[in-house]
Amino acid sequence: KICWHIYHTIFVRCCLKPYDSLGVQTPRHLKKGCNMQLFKRIRDIITSRLFVTSFLILLQIIALILPFLYLGMRSVYIHAVVGFISTVISLSIANDEKHAPFHTIWIVVLLAAPIAGWPLYVILRHNKQAGQASRRCATVSEHLDKIPFGGFQPDSLYACKHHPFHREMLHLARSCNAPVFTSTITRYFPNGESFFPVYLEKLRTAKKFIFMEYFIINDGYLWQEVKKILTEKCRQGVEVRILYDDIATISKLTRSFRRELRNMGVQVYPFNPYRAAVDSFMNYRDHRKITVIDGVIGFTGGINLADEYINKIERFGYWKDAGLMLEGSAVQALTHTFLKSWGFVVKEDPMPQKYLIDKPQNADSLVQPFCDSPAGKVRAGRDTYSSLINGAQRYVWITAPYLILENEMLNALCLAATSGVDVRIITPHIADKWYVHAVTRSNYRALIKAGVKVYEYKPGFVHAKLIVADDAAAMVATTNFDYRSFYALFENGVMVYGRDVIAQIKSDLTETMQQSMPYTMEMCQHTSRFRRSMRKLLRIFSPFL
């Protein structure tokens, strides 16, 4: 009866509200149609791969935990032993540098629910399948890193030696196999609308191959336009490879998506497919956005292949994003990054020599593409953000859709501001996830108190991941300012050191700030106690957001 009452109140009355408001008896065929739509929607949800797979994973977790719960409740001694084990694991976690950002949440889980907590920790943090996948990913990366693909080490390139951010260049080059490139034309796009026409134009020029790696591909106007070009290119004999993240697209793409593309001649694979198995590696997702055309033109940035990114549809107000096009020698690095992902997913030798093409262009800017992997020991995205913040002498401006900060990053931003550096951060005013936005706002008070200028973009949602410092360095990346991007996602970015591109990015951020609302300490103080309490609670779980 309760379920029927909820159904009738929420669905039937909402669907048939116009008739009720007019005092007209609802037509019987509309009632029947409303019922059929609801039942069809419920059927589609229950039979979807996302629901079925998640349900099977939940059953596995319950089956693994139930024996410990049963035994623990029946024996005081077993309960004491399990509690002791949970305490020991908590102490080991506190001294484990590798999983430092996740210490608090795991310690809370283990001590609050020791019987269910420690089996869950052992399953999720030390899963054998995850270890095998991580090792395979590392093996592919090590194999490809041994193959030279051009570029210069910063200490051997004269133009780098006296650069203000020479140390940052050197760190990326040595820790991430990310050489610095010259002879590369860079073009910055301040939004999806300016990005999309150029993207299509360059796709049409492909003669040999097209590589695409994206977090989200969603069927719509943008994808249909891209697919038309890919269809024609396949007929011309152009090799087309596509990687997309399985979980990010699981509710967006139809079951026939891969079949249709493969019938066209496209080699297409999902990254880390979502399957009914308890596997902590399932948390590692491919958040990269890369397109490589013939090895000489490359695109990256925050723009996925979906209509909201070019504002063809509206989801959270105006979608503010950014993209970057490379043309020349540095495209080899984007090709190299794609081939790492391809070798991991397809489990075959990607034959990089065939695709790493050096075609220099007449340009004097310095470009340093890099990639980041949760399977590696280096956190390139986090370290680059940190280096630019700590190395800035005059100003550092940032756009961040999510501002979920580690203590070290929060301290770095506050220290830079109190040292006289002009620190500015632009975040969305219209949030896509209310709980993430709540954690973002929970950092405002400490930042503003230290002198950081915080802006919220009023027209909509800022998805661009940008940082620019001292008119000397800027980064256009896929990496968000949050734990997941730093520790659990495959990311990529490009450091640019050319004055023209940096001026364009700075101008774009200046214009974005003019459309944004400055957040003040008075606004922070007028936040209700309930909201402040909720934000503090959500901060505990911020590593999982």
| Bridge partner residues of 111 (DSSP) | none
Q: Following CA atoms 14, 15, 16, 22 in sequence, which dihedral angle do they give, to the nearest 10 degrees?
A: 70
Q: Is 465 a catalytic residue?
A: yes
Interatomic CA distance for residues 315 and 249, integer angstroms: 17
Choose the catalytic residue: 233, 320, 336, 463.
463
Q: Is 470 a catalytic residue?
A: yes
Choose the catalytic residue: 233, 437, 465, 508.
465
Choose the catalytic residue: 233, 289, 336, 437.
289
Tell me which residue has tokens 């079925």: 52
Interatomic CA distance for residues 2 and 113, integer angstroms: 32
Nearest by Cα to 396 from 386, 411, 381: 386
Interatomic CA distance for residues 272 and 247, integer angstroms: 8
Tell me which residue has tokens 């940190």: 386
* Tokens (6 digits) for 35: 């019922």
In this structure, how many other beta carbons lie within 10 angstroms of the beta carbon of residue 345?
18
Choose the catalytic residue: 171, 202, 233, 287.
287
Choose the catalytic residue: 245, 246, 286, 470.
470
Interatomic CA distance for residues 303 and 311, integer angstroms: 11
331: Cβ contacts below 8 Å, ≥ 6 apart: 184, 292, 295, 296, 297, 298, 357
Q: Is 5 a catalytic residue?
A: no
Interatomic CA distance for residues 99 and 477, integer angstroms: 24
Q: Are 359 and 292 in contact (CB under 8 A)?
A: no
Nearest by Cα to 216 from 260, 252, 269: 252
Choose the catalytic residue: 245, 294, 372, 482.
294
Q: Is 289 a catalytic residue?
A: yes
What are the φ/ψ torsions at residue 336 (nearest 5 degrees)? -60, -45
What are the φ/ψ torsions at residue 309 (nearest 5 degrees)? -70, -20
Interatomic CA distance for residues 406 and 100, integer angstroms: 10
Residue positions annotated with a catalytic role = 287, 289, 294, 463, 465, 470
